[in-house]
Structure 1
């Protein structure tokens, strides 16, 4: 895995589908809260459900672990994304 490029993102600034390919422009917020693009995730539309499913399963696992470490407390609701991060279809 050391040879794979690593992209850090804390949001998606744009998501489009063209010619059967989903393109998600990933970004991070700079010190002023402005999104700065960091890379482009390109997924064949036929594989998008599998990718989304994998991310959903990961999120559920993280939420379950959080509940285990804090018995009696519900996992915090995910925060609303900053206004700068929005889906553009």
Structure 2
């Protein structure tokens, strides 16, 4: 199965219809206004697990960011902190 990459920096709207949650994703256009860039469709039965995965990703990211800040305060190296990591949920 092919994989598409979609950049979004916000949610424009969300709805549930016939057991499917539809989330319209947006990105800020050149004029600063939000533009729809895709739609995420998730079966409502899978929505809680999907949201828990995103919450876990956010918690892991926050923990890594905090660790990087503490390490930078203890031993500044002049190197930027790594802001990427892999999540499996």
TM range (shorter): 0.7 to 0.9
In structure 2, stretches of 5+ residues that fail to align are 74-89
In structure 1, stretches of 5+ residues that fail to align are 74-89
**Cα shift at 1:71:** 1.5
Query: Residue by residue, what CA displacement relative to the aligned partner does 1:30-66 show, whole Å, maximum 9, x if unpaired?
Result: 1222111111100000000011000000000000000
SS of equivalent residue, structure 1 residue 8:
coil
Q: Which runs of 4+ in 1 moved over 3 A?
A: none
Q: Which has the higher contact order (CA 8 A, sep 6+)?
A: 1
- Greater helix proportion: 2
Larger radius of gyration: 2
TM-score scaled by length of structure 2 = 0.75
Aligned length: 72
Write the distance in 1 (CA, Å) between the matches of 2:27 and 2:62. 23
